[in-house]
Amino acid sequence: MIMYLNIDPTVNQANAEFDLGALGSDDGGRTLFEYIKFNDGDGATAAVAGHLVVGLDAGYPDGEATNDPNSATIAAITQHPKGFLQAVLTDGYFGWAQCWGRNRQVIITDGSVAQGERLMPHATTTGGVDTHSAGAVADIGVALEADGTTSANQLDIGQVFIQIRSA
């Protein structure tokens, strides 16, 4: 595995600068990001910083990810989570998704997350998370606080410890 230091996690690049799936950090490894290619899905769903992105099916390159849970090509809760977008990415462009550490962007929830609950991709909310249910659904981290501090349907910066991928 290749890891890059001193990356800019807010880039939106037309051409790939790194291999898809590469890890990067801008703080010496305390926070990790995965390099992805953004795909806006069947619904042309716009990227939003803080949205969870998941991998697409085998018909797409490894490292290509979407925030569209209703895309005909995927079901968000059954796909491999990549991380949380750090910038608004253009369809077909490259950038970073946070996959380890305290969240740096506001995360959308269903409004029912309690402190200490495990999180998973939300089945229908674009780029959102839900509390983890039993079964083989991907676990993406833990809520350090209950949602609703600032807004009913969000976890604020620093309120989630993301545990999707580590170095």
Q: How confident is the model over 141-154, as pLDDT tens digits?
A: 999 999 988 888 99
Task: Please report whether residue 42 resides in a domain.
Answer: yes
Task: Please report whether residue 122 resides in a domain.
Answer: no
In whole angstroms, what is the distance from residue 123 CA to residue 21 CA?
A: 24
Answer yes or no: is pLDDT of 60 > 70.
no
Q: Which domain holds residue 29?
A: 3-102
- Judged by average pLDDT, the poorest of 13-27, 50-64, 67-81, 89-103 is 67-81
Does the predicted model carry a pTM greater than 0.75?
yes
Per-residue pLDDT band for 138 (boundaries 50, 70, 90) equals confident
Q: Which residue has the higher pLDDT, 167 or 129?
A: 129
In whole angstroms, what is the distance from residue 113 CA to residue 95 CA?
A: 28
Phi and psi angles of residue 40, each rounded to the nearest 5 degrees, phi first: -80, 5
- State the total domains in the chain: 1
In whole angstroms, what is the distance from residue 114 CA to residue 44 CA?
A: 32
Residues 6+ apart with CB under 8 A from 127: 48, 50, 51, 52, 53, 67, 85, 108
Q: Is 45 helix (H, G, I), strand (E, B) or coil?
A: coil
Task: Please report whether residue 77 resides in a domain.
Answer: yes
pLDDT at 150: 87
Task: Please report whether residue 26 resides in a domain.
Answer: yes
Task: Please report whether residue 111 resides in a domain.
Answer: no
Answer yes or no: is pLDDT of 164 > 80.
yes
Answer yes or no: is pLDDT of 23 > 90.
yes
Q: Which residue has the higher pLDDT, 110 or 62?
A: 110
Q: Which helix (H) or strand (E) holds 118?
A: strand 118-121
Task: Please report whether residue 39 resides in a domain.
Answer: yes
Distances from the Cα of 22 to the Cα of 25, 63, 96, angstroms: 10, 9, 9
pLDDT at 1: 62
pLDDT at 27: 96
In whole angstroms, what is the distance from residue 39 CA to residue 56 CA?
A: 9
Q: Which residues pair with 38 in a beta bridge?
A: 65
Task: Please report whether residue 17 resides in a domain.
Answer: yes
Output the furthest CA–CA distance in the chain (Å, rounded). 40
Task: Please report whether residue 20 resides in a domain.
Answer: yes
pLDDT at 69: 72
pLDDT at 160: 98
Q: Averaged over 99-120, what is the pLDDT?
A: 95
The dihedral through the CA atoms of 86, 113, 75, 59 has a sign that is positive
pLDDT at 84: 97
